[in-house]
């Protein structure tokens, strides 16, 4: 239901309302639409170019002037896999999925505790969570490195999982809190009068309502975990390295092979781009800690 | 904080059994229990490193010289403030963060206004526009460094008429910022578009009936309504961008010299290339203190105007 | 089949502040429909939620069939509630919504199905049983909420402004349906509304609340005929009763230079007081069509024609012939009135229908 409401919300525009019922027959709107399309394609073009280049031969990639006409080839993707992107993809996938699941397991009850049945000092707790997002990561990297090194957890995928969970947890708590707050209080009261236990109420009444929200939260966590580079490059190497780490290594070894690099970059970006396209509406909500619906 | 956040917190849902204080205490723990795992985890993983940073910052400690670790009080801080490179880098960070955020906000606003209409393929356009934000930052930086800004084969020089200008070495900071702006404009666009669409239609209709033109409606109604979204965009953009590392690392490696280095990159260099734990920790502490000063102020401002995030619909 | 007793029941949100519900005493007899009515903030919903177990009872007690429920959780009070926004479970079908309370009680499937089918039949919901709430109209959702309450066969129904989300026509229709249904099921019902028309038409007895305090608890006709104070007098009835502070004069009070006689009973009760708050319902003021000149003169400010009747809102002209804008009267006229805005009319007050209240305490004097 939430999705339907959002869809209608996105189709009503204030500008359209400002124009009102007056039928516009001039070319103004057409020009604006054309301009919008040009800008949009312009913004997207580098990405398109990257994907196109990934299907070129190296010779075709280095033409001056650049060309749009070429015979597509999968050669570059093959080369990227030959160079061993596989394990890195697997690491990224594992770290992303496991940290996201951990985030959901920790954040769902926490968000419940700061929304539907609030504990005392809720606002302090919420601000503590958000404050951890504001402290620059770089200030913590030194001790993290020292500690991780000390306990022999360098180049271990679980190190990244723990850090990614901590990194995404505050966003998830805030975001899910805003979803929990959308559950009408009357529903909980009705359930309690109907004799449902707390667990049952959560399972049968609350969960169906917030499940789209949980899904959106998960997508946001996936995006951040997959794209993370700073921890990965400093704490992992060949063993637990993720895709961004592979990409950086690949540049130093194959820096001159643009088509091959593009193939690697395309592979690195693809999962998150797809996830993000899917969750466009939720991106802002996640990034703004639930402040904007 | 207290005034804005009180609404969601109070009053706690009723429990008919509040008469005995023991059951109230048990009830309190039942309420707190779901929160504790997340809270404890966050404290352990995020706060302990900061405490260690404080501790390390008071020591002279270079990883390349085992056994060099000893307590030096505030010497590292003295060194940090005497370091002219640190000052350059701090300034770079401010320019890079604020510059990128403000440009992205302005571009994002223009795009949001363009998209806040009915036209053919609006959904597709939005999808295209949002893509740069989703591209893995490392890949995005790579894209800018090679495909777009390369002196010989770069698309930008091609579009500008086939010259061979070396953007990255001539304008290193601007090159990094270009990539950041490209990635963050979509976010600002989405945020401001949400803002535009949350504007009550009857306000606009009332203004039109009152005889306001499109420009007056924009200045008198739209901008004031967008204000809190603009504030939020600036603060959040700054929070995320002040941590920029990938783009600097990929495009310029902070060079030439420290011309395009920001604090995260500079501290990274000190810690992982110079292995100077004490100094980099001291820099980290300085950065944290500066961030706290800016952030507490900015965040409260924003979350006040948003009714504590999610308190309103 | 239950008796509900509020015994000095209070709800105090913040200690020291004014209670939201202040020492409420109220008895709902078996099978009775009692309406709690009052302006917003009067404590009517809070009182209902105390009975429901959704708000704690901070002092006094609430009993259902003699059993003190202060420490009994909602689910064990054997009550069912219809919420203002219906509180239907959005992910469940109509059938599952209605069966939910039964399922929670561990009732066997066959009996659940039978009761749901019966209730659906009764409410005309049979064909919608497999729909989700969002696919229903407002009126249908309201009936599902009713159905969910009925299947329980509880001792008490609680209804919290159940009609406020319906449009005017639907509200009138559903109002009588609920009253009929309640009559048929004969389950004690506590019904909360801010709409005095709803209260008057539905309640066997009506409790008028204000600022957490019970003002009057009586049958609708009693409330209408003998309001205990000026607040109830002004709250019940539409348009509201004319309430005027008037000076004593001889055996009556003076209005627009004309003496309105007071009954001996009232005169005795008023004693030597110099002013009396006099209440006259619009239907007890008539336009003096003979125009004998002896009537009270008033200038018409607004004419409301409702078809079957009309209401004239007028301000008085005092004995010196000056406009007295501060003293206004609502007068009921015939459906086809010829009186127009700005016209001066003469009105006559039915002296036998005058209510008198103490100007300072607002209490009825006799």
Give CA torsion, residues B241, B247, B248, B253, to 10 deg.
170
% residues pLDDT > 70 (chain B): 89
Residue B19 has its nearest CB partner, among C49, C55, C71, at: C71
CA atoms of B236 and B100, how far apart (whole Å):
12
Task: Categorise residue C256: left if φ over 0, alpha if ψ from -120 to 50, beta otherwise.
Answer: left
Report the sign of the C-alpha dihedral through residues C256, C258, C259, C260, in that order: negative
Q: What is the pLDDT of residue B20?
A: 45
Q: What is the pLDDT of residue C1?
A: 60
Residue B86 near chain A (CB below 8 Å): no
- How confident is the prediction for chain B on average, in pLDDT? 83
How many Å lie between the alpha carbon of B89 and the closest alpha carbon of chain A? 14
CA atoms of B266 and B258, how far apart (whole Å):
8
Residue B39 has its nearest CB partner, among A14, A118, A125, at: A125
Quick one: closest CA in B to C13, which residue? Answer: B11
Residue A62, in any domain of the structure: no
CA atoms of C212 and C10, how far apart (whole Å):
9
- Whats the size of chain B, residue-wise? 313
CA atoms of C118 and B227, how far apart (whole Å):
56
Residue A127 has its nearest CB partner, among B1, B32, B310, at: B1
How many Å lie between the alpha carbon of C133 and the closest alpha carbon of chain A? 11
Span A200-229, average pLDDT: 91
For residues A166 and A256, state if they share a domain: yes
Give B-chain residues touching A14 at CB under 8 angstroms: 116, 196-197, 199, 201, 204, 222
Q: What is the pLDDT of residue C294?
A: 65
Answer for the pair A96, A225: CB distance below 8 angstroms, yes or no.
Answer: yes
Residue A273 near chain C (CB below 8 Å): no
For residues A190 and A271, state if they share a domain: yes
Q: Is A27 helix (H, G, I), strand (E, B) or coil?
A: coil
Residue A66, in any domain of the structure: no
For residues B16 and C47, the model is more confident at: C47
How many Å lie between the alpha carbon of B17 and the closest alpha carbon of chain C? 6
Bond preceding residue A65 cis, omega within 30 of 0 = yes
For residues A113 and A181, state if they share a domain: yes
Q: Answer yes or no: do B16 and C70 touch at CB < 8 A.
A: yes
Which of C46, C74, C80 is the best substitution to test chain A (most A C-beta atoms within 10 A)?
Answer: C74
Span B64-90, average pLDDT: 83
pLDDT tens per residue, range C280-292: 999 999 887 665 5
Residue A63, in any domain of the structure: no
Which CATH number goes with the domain that contains A201?
1.10.3720.10
Which of B12, B16, B17, B22 is the best substitution to test chain C (most C C-beta atoms within 10 A)?
Answer: B16
Which pLDDT band, with edges at 50, 70 and 90, does B12 fall under?
very low
pLDDT tens per residue, range A63-99: 767 777 788 889 899 999 998 999 999 999 999 999 9
Quick one: closest CA in A to C151, which residue? Answer: A194
Q: Which B residues in the span 16-75 are in contact with C, Cβ-Cβ below 8 Å?
A: 16-19
Which pLDDT band, with edges at 50, 70 and 90, does A108 fall under?
very high
Q: Answer yes or no: do A229 and B126 touch at CB < 8 A.
A: no
For residues A7 and A95, state if they share a domain: no
Give the number of other Cβ atoms within 10 Å of residue C308's Cβ.
8
CA atoms of B110 and B115, how far apart (whole Å):
9
Strand-pair category, C156-160 with C188-193? parallel
Residue A292 has its nearest CB partner, among B41, B191, B299, at: B191
CA atoms of B223 and C142, how far apart (whole Å):
41
Answer for the pair B99, B177: CB distance below 8 angstroms, yes or no.
Answer: yes
Span C95-109, average pLDDT: 92
Q: What is the pLDDT of residue B3?
A: 34
How open is the CA angle B275-B278-B284, to the nearest 5 degrees? 100
Q: Answer yes or no: do C56 and B11 touch at CB < 8 A.
A: no
Give C-chain residues touching A179 at CB under 8 angstroms: none
Residue A251, in any domain of the structure: yes
% residues pLDDT > 90 (chain C): 72
Residues of C with CB under 8 A from a CB of A: 52-54, 73-75, 79-81, 83-87, 89-92, 100-101, 104-105, 134, 148, 152
Which is nearest to B76 in space by CA: B55, B52, B57?
Answer: B57
Contacts of B237 (CB under 8 A, 6+ apart): B100, B101, B104, B105, B184, B187, B188
- How confident is the prediction for chain A on average, in pLDDT? 85
Which pTM value belongs to this model? 0.82
CA atoms of B91 and B98, how far apart (whole Å):
11
Does pLDDT of B8 surpass 70?
no
Residue A200 near chain C (CB below 8 Å): yes
Which of C17, C71, C72 is the best substitution to test chain B (most B C-beta atoms within 10 A)?
Answer: C71
Rounded alpha-carbon distances, angstroms, from residue C332 to A20, C26, C73, C163, C336:
45, 35, 51, 29, 11
C: neighbours with 3+ CB pairs under 8 Å?
A, B
The angle, 0 to 180 degrees and rounded to 10, between the axes of the packed helices A157-181 and A85-113 is 40
CA atoms of A203 and A185, how far apart (whole Å):
16
Give C-chain residues touching A205 at CB under 8 angstroms: 89, 91
For residues C276 and B12, the model is more confident at: C276
Q: Is C217 helix (H, G, I), strand (E, B) or coil?
A: strand
Residue A109, in any domain of the structure: yes
Q: What is the pLDDT of residue B291?
A: 81
Quick one: closest CA in A to B129, which residue? Answer: A40
Q: What is the pLDDT of residue B258?
A: 87
Q: Answer yes or no: do B16 and C72 touch at CB < 8 A.
A: yes
pLDDT tens per residue, range B197-254: 888 888 888 888 887 888 888 888 899 999 889 988 988 888 889 889 999 999 998 8
Bond preceding residue B256 cis, omega within 30 of 0 = yes
Strand-pair category, C355-357 with C275-280? antiparallel
Give the number of other Cβ atoms within 10 Å of residue B217's Cβ.
21
- How confident is the prediction for chain C on average, in pLDDT? 91
Answer for the pair C326, C255: CB distance below 8 angstroms, yes or no.
Answer: no
For residues A13 and A48, state if they share a domain: yes
Q: Answer yes or no: do A184 and C73 touch at CB < 8 A.
A: no
Answer for the pair A117, B12: CB distance below 8 angstroms, yes or no.
Answer: yes
Residue B234 near chain A (CB below 8 Å): no
Which of A3, A5, A179, A194 is the best substitution to test chain C (most C C-beta atoms within 10 A)?
Answer: A194
A: neighbours with 3+ CB pairs under 8 Å?
B, C
Quick one: closest CA in C to B11, which residue? Answer: C13
For residues A150 and A282, state if they share a domain: yes
How open is the CA angle C59-C61-C66, to the nearest 5 degrees? 170
Q: Answer yes or no: do B16 and C13 touch at CB < 8 A.
A: no
Sheet architecture: strand order including C355-357: C258-261, C252-255, C242-249, C275-280, C355-357
**What are the backbone angles phi and psi of residue B237, rounded to the nearest 5°?**
-60, -45
Burial classification of residue C154, based on how many CB atoms lie within 10 Å of its CB (0-12 exposed, 13-18 middle, 19 or more buried): buried
Residue A68, in any domain of the structure: no
Does pLDDT of C158 surpass 90?
yes
Which is nearest to C297 in space by CA: C327, C338, C332?
Answer: C327
Residue A205 near chain B (CB below 8 Å): no
Answer for the pair C280, C349: CB distance below 8 angstroms, yes or no.
Answer: yes
Which pLDDT band, with edges at 50, 70 and 90, does A23 fall under?
low
Which pLDDT band, with edges at 50, 70 and 90, does B257 fall under?
confident
Does pLDDT of C272 surpass 90?
no
For residues A272 and A165, state if they share a domain: yes
Q: Answer yes or no: do C73 and B11 touch at CB < 8 A.
A: no
Residue A209 has its nearest CB partner, among C53, C80, C90, at: C90
Give C-chain residues touching B20 at CB under 8 angstroms: none
Which of A1, A179, A187, A195 is the best substitution to test chain C (most C C-beta atoms within 10 A)?
Answer: A195
CA atoms of B129 and B124, how far apart (whole Å):
9
CA atoms of A131 and B292, how far apart (whole Å):
9
Give A-chain residues touching B182 at CB under 8 angstroms: 43, 46
Q: What is the pLDDT of residue B24?
A: 66
Alpha helices, DSSP H, located in B172-309? 172-197, 201-209, 214-217, 223-241, 246-251, 263-268, 277-305
Residues pairing with C297 in the sheet: C346
For residues A284 and A212, state if they share a domain: yes
Which of B4, B16, B33, B35 is the best substitution to test chain A (most A C-beta atoms within 10 A)?
Answer: B35
Q: Concatenated DSSP letters for C123-156?
A: HT-GGGTTS-GGGS-HHHHHHHHHHHHHTT--SE
Count contacts between A and C (CB, < 8 Å): 64
CA atoms of A20 and A14, how far apart (whole Å):
10
Q: Which B residues in the span 189-228 are in contact with A, Cβ-Cβ below 8 Å?
A: 190-191, 194-199, 201, 204-205, 208, 214, 217, 222
Residues pairing with C333 in the sheet: C310
- As a whole number of angstroms, the longest Cα–Cα distance in chain C is 81
- As a whole number of angstroms, the longest Cα–Cα distance in chain A is 74
Residue B163 near chain A (CB below 8 Å): no
Q: Is B253 helix (H, G, I), strand (E, B) or coil?
A: coil
Q: What is the pLDDT of residue A93?
A: 96
For residues A112 and A236, state if they share a domain: yes
**What are the backbone angles phi and psi of residue B254, rounded to the nearest 5°?**
80, -5
Residue A173, in any domain of the structure: yes
Span A148-159, average pLDDT: 92
How open is the CA angle C337-C340-C341, to the nearest 5 degrees? 140
Q: Which A residues in the span 78-107 are in contact with B, Cβ-Cβ below 8 Å?
A: 106-107
Does pLDDT of A113 surpass 50?
yes
For residues A50 and A150, state if they share a domain: no
Q: Which of A134-143, A276-285, B179-188, B304-313 has the lowest mean pLDDT?
A: B304-313
Span C38-65, average pLDDT: 93
Q: Give me the long-range contacts of C125-129 (CB less than 8 A, separation at least 24).
A: C125/C94, C128/C94, C129/C93, C129/C94, C129/C95
Residue A71, in any domain of the structure: no
For residues A143 and A253, state if they share a domain: yes
For residues A33 and A96, state if they share a domain: no
Q: What is the pLDDT of residue B309?
A: 46
Q: Which of A154-158, B206-210, C22-26, C78-82 has the lowest mean pLDDT?
A: B206-210
Q: What is the pLDDT of residue B161?
A: 81
Give C-chain residues touching B16 at CB under 8 angstroms: 53, 56-57, 70-74
CA atoms of C316 and B155, how far apart (whole Å):
86
Residue B142 near chain A (CB below 8 Å): yes
CA atoms of B275 and B60, how far apart (whole Å):
11
The count of domains in chain A is: 2
CA atoms of A198 and A192, how far apart (whole Å):
8
Span B177-196, average pLDDT: 94
Does pLDDT of B190 surpass 50?
yes
Q: What is the pLDDT of residue C251?
A: 87
B: neighbours with 3+ CB pairs under 8 Å?
A, C
Terminal C-alpha separation, chain A:
15
Domain that holds residue A26: 2-54
Does pLDDT of B192 surpass 90?
yes
B74-312 to CATH, choices 1.10.10.60, 3.20.20.70, 1.10.3720.10, 3.80.30.20: 1.10.3720.10
Does pLDDT of A183 surpass 80?
yes
């Amino acid at each position: 239901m939430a999705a339907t409401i959002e869809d209608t919300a996105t189709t009503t525009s204030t500008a359209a309302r400002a124009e009102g019922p007056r039928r516009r027959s001039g070319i103004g709107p057409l020009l604006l639409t054309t301009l919008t399309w040009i800008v949009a394609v312009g913004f997207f073009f580098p990405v398109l170019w990257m994907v196109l280049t990934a299907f070129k031969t190296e010779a075709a990639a280095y033409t001056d002037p650049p060309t749009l006409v070429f015979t597509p080839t999968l050669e570059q993707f093959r080369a990227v896999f030959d160079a061993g992107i596989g394990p890195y993809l697997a690491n990224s996938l594992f770290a992303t999925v496991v940290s996201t699941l951990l985030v959901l397991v920790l954040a769902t009850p926490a968000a419940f505790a700061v929304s539907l049945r609030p504990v005392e000092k809720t606002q302090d707790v919420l601000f503590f969570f958000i404050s951890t997002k504001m402290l620059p990561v770089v200030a913590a990297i030194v001790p993290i490195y020292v500690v991780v090194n000390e306990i022999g957890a360098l180049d271990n995928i679980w190190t990244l999982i723990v850090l990614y969970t901590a990194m995404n947890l505050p966003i998830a708590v805030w975001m899910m809190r805003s979803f929990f707050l959308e559950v009408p209080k009357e529903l909980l009261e009705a359930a309690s009068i109907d004799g449902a236990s707390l667990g049952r109420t959560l399972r049968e009444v609350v969960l169906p309502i917030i499940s789209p929200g949980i899904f959106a939260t998960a997508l946001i966590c996936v995006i951040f975990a997959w794209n993370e580079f700073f921890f990965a490059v400093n704490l992992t190497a060949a063993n637990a390295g993720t895709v961004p780490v592979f990409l950086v290594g690949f540049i130093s070894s194959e820096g001159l092979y643009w088509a091959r690099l593009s193939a690697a970059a395309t592979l690195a970006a693809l999962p998150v781009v797809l996830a993000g396209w899917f969750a466009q509406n939720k991106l802002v909500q996640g990034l703004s800690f639930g402040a904007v619906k | 904080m207290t005034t804005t956040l009180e609404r969601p917190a109070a009053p706690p849902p009723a429990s008919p059994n509040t008469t005995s204080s023991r059951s109230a205490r048990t009830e309190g723990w039942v309420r707190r229990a779901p929160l504790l795992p997340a809270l404890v985890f966050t404290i352990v993983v995020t706060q302990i490193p900061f405490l260690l940073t404080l501790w390390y910052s008071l020591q002279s400690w270079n990883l390349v010289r085992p056994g060099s670790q000893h307590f030096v009080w505030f010497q590292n801080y003295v060194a940090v403030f005497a370091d002219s490179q640190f000052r350059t880098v701090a300034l770079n960070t401010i320019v890079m963060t604020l510059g990128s955020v403000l440009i992205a906000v302005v571009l994002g606003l223009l795009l949001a206004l363009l998209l806040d209409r009915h036209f053919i393929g609006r959904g597709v356009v939005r999808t295209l526009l949002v893509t740069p934000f989703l591209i893995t930052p490392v890949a995005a930086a790579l894209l800018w460094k090679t495909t777009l800004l390369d002196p010989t084969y770069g698309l930008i020089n091609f579009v500008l008429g086939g010259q061979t200008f070396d953007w990255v070495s001539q304008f290193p900071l601007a090159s990094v910022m270009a990539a950041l702006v490209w990635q963050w404009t979509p976010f600002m666009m989405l945020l401001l578009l949400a803002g535009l669409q949350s504007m009550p239609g009857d306000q606009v209709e009332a203004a039109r009936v009152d005889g306001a033109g499109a420009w007056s409606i924009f200045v008198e109604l739209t901008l004031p309504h967008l204000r809190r979204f603009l504030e939020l965009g600036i603060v959040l953009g700054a929070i995320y961008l002040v941590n920029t590392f990938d783009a600097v690392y990929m495009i310029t490696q902070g060079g030439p010299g420290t011309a395009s280095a920001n604090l995260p990159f500079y501290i990274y260099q000190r810690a992982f290339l110079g292995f100077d734990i004490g100094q980099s920790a001291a820099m980290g502490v300085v950065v944290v203190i500066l961030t706290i000063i800016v952030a507490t102020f900015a965040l409260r401002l924003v979350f006040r105007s948003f009714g504590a995030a999610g308190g309103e619909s | 089949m239950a008796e509900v007793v509020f015994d000095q029941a209070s709800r105090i949100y913040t200690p020291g502040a004014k209670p939201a519900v202040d020492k409420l005493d109220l008895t709902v007899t078996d099978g009775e429909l009692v309406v709690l009515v009052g302006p917003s903030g009067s404590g009517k919903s809070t009182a209902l939620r105390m009975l429901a177990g959704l708000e704690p009872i901070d002092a006094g007690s609430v009993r259902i069939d003699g059993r003190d429920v202060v420490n009994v959780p909602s689910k064990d009070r054997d009550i069912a509630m219809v919420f203002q926004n219906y509180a239907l479970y959005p992910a469940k079908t109509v059938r599952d919504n209605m069966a939910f309370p039964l399922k929670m009680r561990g009732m066997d499937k066959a009996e659940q199905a039978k009761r749901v089918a019966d209730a659906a039949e009764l409410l005309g919901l049979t064909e919608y049983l497999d729909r989700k709430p969002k696919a229903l109209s407002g009126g249908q959702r309201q009936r599902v909420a009713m159905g969910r309450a009925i299947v329980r066969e509880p001792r008490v129904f609680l209804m919290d402004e159940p009609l406020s989300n319906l449009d005017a026509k639907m509200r009138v229709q559903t109002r009588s349906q609920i009253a009929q249904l309640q009559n048929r099921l004969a389950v004690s019902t506590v019904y909360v509304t801010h709409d005095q028309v709803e209260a008057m038409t539905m309640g066997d007895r009506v409790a008028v609340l204000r600022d957490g305090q019970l003002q009057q608890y009586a049958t609708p006709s009693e409330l209408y005929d003998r309001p205990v104070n000026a607040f109830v007098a002004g709250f019940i009835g539409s348009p509201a009763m004319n309430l005027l502070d008037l000076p004593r004069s001889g055996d009556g009070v003076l209005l627009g230079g004309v003496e309105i006689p007071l009954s001996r009973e009232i005169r005795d009760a008023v004693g030597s007081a110099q002013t009396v708050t006099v209440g006259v319902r619009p239907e007890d003021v008539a336009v003096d069509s003979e125009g004998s000149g002896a009537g009270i003169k008033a200038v018409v400010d607004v004419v409301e024609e409702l078809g079957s009747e009309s209401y004239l809102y007028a301000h008085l002209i005092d004995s010196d012939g000056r406009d007295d804008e501060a003293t206004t009267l609502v007068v009921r006229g015939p459906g086809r009135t010829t009186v127009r805005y700005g016209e001066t009319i003469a009105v006559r007050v039915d002296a036998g229908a005058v209510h008198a209240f103490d100007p300072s305490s607002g209490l009825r004097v006799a």
